[in-house]
Structure 1
């Protein structure tokens, strides 16, 4: 068993090029732009990995229904790397999960599992007055240490479980995800499905030394062209 390839890629790049941009997020509906360097993204991942450990979800299932509604948000995109660092698999189905990650709208515990609500604020500000049994992700994560241990996983171990497959759940291993095409430049990403967005916005850039600009909302061609030019994205 080895450290998952994508976790290794993030840790290596944080050491060698931590100040470089990794993920720039536009929220057109809220009017926000958030830029995370490799080091900042890795810091959020480490804090989240420590939180997973504190909540007793190591080597378990982390449900990320947040990815169904906001696949391109930076808070959504950091969760898979944190889960893999603690030998967890990501699933989109909350049934049977050890930990459930939801958004800020009507966050309520669906299961006895621990539930974390993400504010989706551009600066990561927390939520207040949550229902009993729901924890605010920002508040809990920011109290965690900046470094986290890493649990090994087999290359063929499940990393992402997508229940939306036409013949039942599709399971992607760490080796499958490590085969994501590398991205060397700065690319513009309009979110699509949860796994496709993760691959385009984070996994490919990590493997290739590039970065991504993710635009959430309903951009028209003119706005996308303007953002592409201002962010110096490759065509």
Structure 2
């Protein structure tokens, strides 16, 4: 079972990720079904255009964002080992701000750049060979069928195997007191192992719903917690 299958209820129509960016005013809500569709599109892109397969190391240089969740879930669906350091990685996915860093690592399978634009606009003027995620991902299907099952022993996160990442996520969910009834307001970044574990993996493992806020306006968080009916705050 891939880590994506362990973490994501692909049949759920209830809100799974509600994303805010207080710097831009963006708000987007994704159900489990919609999140799964984006993860599938990403997995198809990574496998069919970038040659990602079980054991491929994929560096993710992205902020806590709904598209980052799709990237992570798509990479794990392919069986990739997601890493934080681009040096030595086979493929790098990054935002515009970290494009130079990604290119300097010279990953053999290339670089995929994300604009993270609210309306799906791509990035103009990318260097030759860099894949524009926003342009390419929409061309891929909403279903993904792996060519082979991902074993529990396959590396999934900085070399840690699928079963240990899955079990750790469930343990953190229990330690945080999360359940499927919870709606979690979080400002945690996912760039550190602890932030990713608590801010995304534990929430998904619990079957809870995530309200992720980027560039948080602290004065607005209390109102948002009330309007979104959140039950737990992280960060």
Q: Shorter-chain TM-score category?
A: 0.7 to 0.9
**In structure 2, what is the equivalent of residue 178 of structure 1?**
166
**Would the alpha carbon gap of residues 145 and 218 (structure 1) be closer, same or farther in structure 2, given more than 3 Å must change?**
closer
Q: Would the aligned equivalents of 1:23 and 1:202 in 2 still touch at CA under 8 Å?
A: no
Report the Cα distance in structure 2 between the residues aligned to 1:196 and 1:36, rounded to whole angstroms.
24
**For 1:77 and 1:177, how far apart are their aligned partners in 2?**
16
Please give the residue correspondences for 1:80-99 in structure 2 after superposition, counting only pairs within 5 Å: 80-99=72-91
* Stretch of structure 1 that moved more, 123-132 or 135-144: 123-132
Deviates more, 1:92-101 or 1:194-203: 194-203
Q: Structure 1 83/138 Cα, relative in aligned 2: closer, same or farther at 3 Å?
A: same
Q: Deviations over 1:180-212 (max 9, x none)?
A: 115421010112343334334443333322200
Name 1:164's counterpart in structure 2.
none
Contact map agreement 1:187 1:234 (CA 8 A) in 2: yes
* TM-score, with length taken from structure 1: 0.83
> Please, what is the CA RMSD of the aligned residues?
2.0
The structural deviation recorded for 1:231 is 0.5
**Out of 143, 154, 159, which is 2:151 matched to?**
154
Partners of 1:4 and 1:152 within 8 A in 2: yes
| 1:166 alignment partner in structure 2 | none
Runs of at least 5 residues in structure 2 that lack an aligned partner in the other structure: none
Instruction: Give the equivalent residue in structure 2 for 1:42.
Output: 36
**CA distance in structure 1 between the aligned counterparts of 2:190 and 2:66, rounded to whole angstroms:** 15
Q: Displacement, 1:76?
A: 1.4
SS of equivalent to 1:156? coil
Indicate whether 1:189 and 2:181 are aligned. Answer: no
Point out where structure 1 has 5 or more consecutive residues left out of the alignment: 162-170
Q: Equivalents in 1 of 2:79, 2:204: separation in Å?
A: 19
Q: Where do 1:105-184 residues align within 5 Å?
A: 105=97, 107-108=99-100, 109-110=103-104, 111=106, 112-150=108-146, 151-161=148-158, 171-179=159-167, 180=169, 181=173, 183-184=179-180
Aligned-pair CA distance for 1:65: 1.9
Contact 1:189 1:200 in 2 (8 A): no
Equivalent pairs, count: 215
Give distance in 2, aligned partners of 1:192 and 1:86: 24
Distance 1:82 1:176 in 2: 19
Q: 1-side partners of 2:70 and 2:142: how far apart?
A: 14
